[in-house]
Every structure is written in structure tokens, then in C-alpha cells.
Amino acid sequence: MYIGAAAPTREEVAITDTKEFKVAFGFEDGAMAVCGAVEYEGAIWLVPKWLPVQNERYAKPERMIRLDQFRHQRFDPPSNGPGPFAGADFGVNVPLPKNLFFDELSSQLKKQYIVLDKPDLKFRVGGVRH
């Protein structure tokens, strides 16, 4: 499963003003997924969904979830598979709640996790994947 849509190509998700990553993880129900991530203010943030902006060269994250709040590992070199997990730069070692990615954030989730919900940020697309 690729969060947000079919797994994009490197050109579709690459960010020019920041580094872009791919993160593999599992949900609490056992389903596995991958999600794009960006470096922002010195941390890696998962971005489950990008919102279009009037100018097609930009995209806005609907939500950003800070990676370093979860036990995780860096794959160096990136993972070689299988399928959508190929090229993953990081793997999260603990199951994550689906509500954190798909639903409206409850006050409990906002207290429990470091999340930027509907941040007023724009990223230019078309750069090189890290």
C-alpha cells in the first residue's frame, strides 16, 4: 500500500528545497505501507497526502508526522524491495495507528504524537530524491 495514491515516481515526489525520503512501516492491524517524507527544520516528516496548489510546481502537505518520535532505522543503501518497499530510506520498527494517517486528528492523537495538521507550507516539486 502506498499512502495517498499509487507509488509515485522519483520525479513526481522529489522536492527541490528539501530532501525527500521514502519510509516503510506497518499499521497496528498488520497492513504494511510506504509513505513519502521530507526533511523540514532538521527533522524527517512523513507526508501521507499532498494537496495540489494552483501553481502545479508546488504542493502542500495535508499533514506531517515527525519520524523521530518512533523507533526506526535508516537503510543505507536504501531497501531493495519487494515492490513498493524498494527504495525505502527508513523503516519504522513499531506499528502505527491508521487514524494518524487517514482520519481527522482527535485531541488524543494530537497530544500523543508530534503532527503538523494542515501546515501553511509549500514545497517545490521536481528536484532530486535523497
Give tens-digit pLDDT for 86-124: 999 999 999 999 999 998 999 999 999 999 999 988 887
Q: What pLDDT score was predicted for residue 11? A: 39
> Which residue ranges make up each domain of the chain?
10-122
Question: Average pLDDT of 16-44?
Answer: 90
Is the CB of residue 22 less than 8 Å from the CB of residue 36? yes
Residue 15: the pLDDT is 45
Cβ count within 10 A of residue 57: 11
**21 or 12: whose pLDDT is higher?**
21
Q: How much is the mean pLDDT over the chain?
A: 84
Q: For residue 86, which phi and psi values (nearest 5 degrees)?
A: -60, 135
